[in-house]
Amino acid sequence: MSELIENLKNEIIEALNLEGMSPADIDENAALFNGGDPSVAGLGLDSIDALELIVLMERNYGIKLKNASEGKEIFRSVATMAEYISKNRTK
């Protein structure tokens, strides 16, 4: 799992163009999205980032989401994302 988390962090940095960030800067348990509330710690991603994460899961792990709203729970943190991927990956 820790290897998957590390890979995922790198893939997220690349897919979302998080320039200047390294995997160590991302806490796998922190919120990826803050729903526009800057007081919530985390990356502060938005709805387009969510779509990019869906593309990432399809391209890299063969997981296809039908609806953007399905991503809500999956993309809570890098850890929840890794857990979902490990259970559902087809590649």
Partner 1 sequence: MAVYIQSAAQISIQSPLCDDWFTDPILREERYFRSEEPDFKQYVDPMSARRMGRLLKRALASAKKALEGETATLDAIVTGTGLGCIETTEKFLLAMLKEGEQALPPSHFMQSTHNTIGSLIAQHLKCHGYNNTYTHRGTSFDCALQDVLMQFDLGALSSALVCANDEMTELYFQLFDQIGYWKKEDVKSEMFHNASSEGSFAGEVSATFLLERDRTEKSLCRLDGQVLMYQPDELRVREAIDELLRKGGIGWSDVDGVVCGYNAARSNDEVYARLMEALFPDVTQIYYKHLFGESFSASAMGYYVAALCLKRGEVPSHLVFKKGRTTTPKHILVYNHFQNKDHSVALLSC
Partner 2 sequence: MGRIVVTGMGIVCSLGCGTDKVFSALQRGVPCVGTVRHLQTSHTELPVGEVSMSNEEMMSMLDLPSDSVVTRTPLLGMVAFKQAVGQAGLTDATRTVFVNGTTVGGMEKSEQYYLEFFEGKHTEYIGAHDCGAGTEQIGRLFGRLDAMLTISTACSSATNSIIVGANMIRSGRAKAAIVGGTESLSKFHLNGFNSLMILDGEPCKPFDQGRNGLNLGEGAAYLVIEEEESALERGAKPLCLLAGYANACDAFHQTATSPEGEGAYLAMTGALKQAGISPAAIDYINAHGTGTGNNDQCESVAIKRVFGDSVPDFSSTKAFTGHTTSAAGSVEAVISILSLLNNYIPANLNFTSPIEETGLTPVTQGKNVDLHHVMSNSFGFGGNDSSCIFSKIE
18 binds, among partner 2, partner 1, none (CB under 5 to 8 A by kind): partner 1
13 close to 91: Cβ distance less than 8 angstroms: no
- Listed ranges 5-13, 17-25, 43-51, 74-82: which one lies at the site for partner 2 (CB under 8 A): 43-51
Our CB check for partner 2 shows the closer of 2 and 17 to be 17
Residues paired with 31 in a beta bridge: 42
Using CB under 8 A, list all residues that contact partner 1.
16-20, 44, 48, 51-52, 55, 58-59
